[in-house]
Amino acid sequence: MRSKLFVPGVRPDLFDKAWNGQADAVSFDLEDAVADARKAEARVNVAAFLQAQTRGAGAPLAIVRTNAPDSPEYEADLVAVLPAAPDLINLPKTDSADVVRAAIARIEAQEAALGLAPSAGLLLNIETPRALRNAADIAAAHPRVAGLQLGLGDLFEPCGIRRDVPAHVQAVMLQVALAAAEAGVFACDGAWAHLGDDAGFEREARLARQLGFVGKSCIHPRQVPLAHAVFAVDSEELARAQRIVDGAAQARGDGRAVCVVDGRMIDAPYLRRAERLLDHASRDASARGAPQS
């Protein structure tokens, strides 16, 4: 999921363009982008659109960002969107494992009431100081947690922390990346609000990629190719990963725990990284309907 494009739930005129565009995932927003008086309208729009789409290979991931679990809108969001079978439900303001488990319990209660099999994974926002402190516990709170999403705007702005200082961003990203890695889930970077600042978007995206994030959120289609360029895996990187996997397999067959590939000693941590890279590339290609080698 190199790119995740936000679309306001009250802008059905943008749904088709987003869905049929280049983004790997489309995140239909019922929360921040929707005024309180239009929440019900947004739910109807998103549910109707998703139910009408053909899903599968080549289609983007369908994500719905609900309102916060402690909001009066959350239950109605679930009733509306669960029958539309989103791939992921993005939960904002999840600042502890207990909040996550309670939110998932309400999802599963609604699934049972609606006669639906559990399906959607959970993408959990890390966007408050408490959530950052609890990030590892949040990531491991429930088997349905698929990933963590960093929200730097919500995290930094109320605290007066400057986002244009790379050390600030790196410290937070590293903590989220390690929390996600401990739980075996992915980490996705948040949005860059300055639409005219491509250099800023790319700078933050590059840092996220260096720290193991799978992709970046986008708030305009023009940011999607920027995300893809940063998070693209080139053919030589994939070929090197395959050589590592093949070399490790040969070493195991010979009764050795390590091998040397391209002049570098390869043991278990390097092998896991290569396997992870190949797995992500394979799943991305499958999701986009591309041929796999």
pLDDT at residue 287 in the model: 54
pLDDT at residue 292 in the model: 41
pTM, rounded to two decimals? 0.86
Q: Beta 264-266 vs 259-261: how paired, if at all? A: antiparallel
| Share of residues in the chain with pLDDT > 90 (%) | 77
Weakest-pLDDT range from 74-78, 159-163, 277-281: 277-281
pLDDT at residue 61 in the model: 95
Q: Identify the band that residue 279 occupies on the pLDDT scale cut at 50, 70 and 90.
A: confident
Question: How far from 283 is each of 24, 122, 244, CA to CA, in Å?
Answer: 11, 18, 19
What six digits make up the tokens of 72? Answer: 């009066």
* pLDDT one-digit tens code per residue, 78-123: 999 999 999 999 999 999 999 999 999 999 999 999 999 999 999 9
Topology of domain 3-231, per CATH? TIM Barrel (3.20.20)
At CA 209, angle to CA 205 and CA 213, rounded to 5? 100
Could you please report the per-residue DSSP string of 145-184?
EEEEEE-HHHHHGGGT--TTSHHHHHHHHHHHHHHHHHHT
Q: Beta 121-126 vs 88-91: how paired, if at all? A: parallel
Query: How far is it between the farthest Cα atoms of the chain?
Result: 67
Question: How far from 98 is each of 139, 144, 179, CA to CA, in Å?
Answer: 12, 14, 16
* pLDDT one-digit tens code per residue, 120-133: 999 999 999 999 99
Of 48, 62, 66, nearest to 18 by C-alpha is 62
Domain boundaries, the chain: 3-231, 235-287
Of 246, 190, 248, nearest to 214 by C-alpha is 190
Round the average pLDDT of the chain to a whole number and report it: 92
Q: Answer left, alpha or beta for residue 140, where phi above 0 means left and psi between -120 and 50 means alpha.
A: alpha
Contact 113, 69 (CB under 8 A): no
pLDDT at residue 289 in the model: 56
Residue type present at position 203: R
Q: Identify the band that residue 281 occupies on the pLDDT scale cut at 50, 70 and 90.
A: confident
Question: How far from 95 is each of 32, 70, 111, 130, 208, CA to CA, in Å?
Answer: 17, 11, 24, 6, 21
At CA 154, angle to CA 153 and CA 160, rounded to 5? 75
Axis-axis angle for helices 74-81, 97-114 (nearest 10) = 50
Q: Identify the band that residue 286 occupies on the pLDDT scale cut at 50, 70 and 90.
A: low
Average pLDDT over residues 145-150: 98
Residue with the larger pLDDT of the pair 240 and 130? 130
* pLDDT one-digit tens code per residue, 37-75: 999 999 999 999 999 998 877 899 999 999 999 999 999
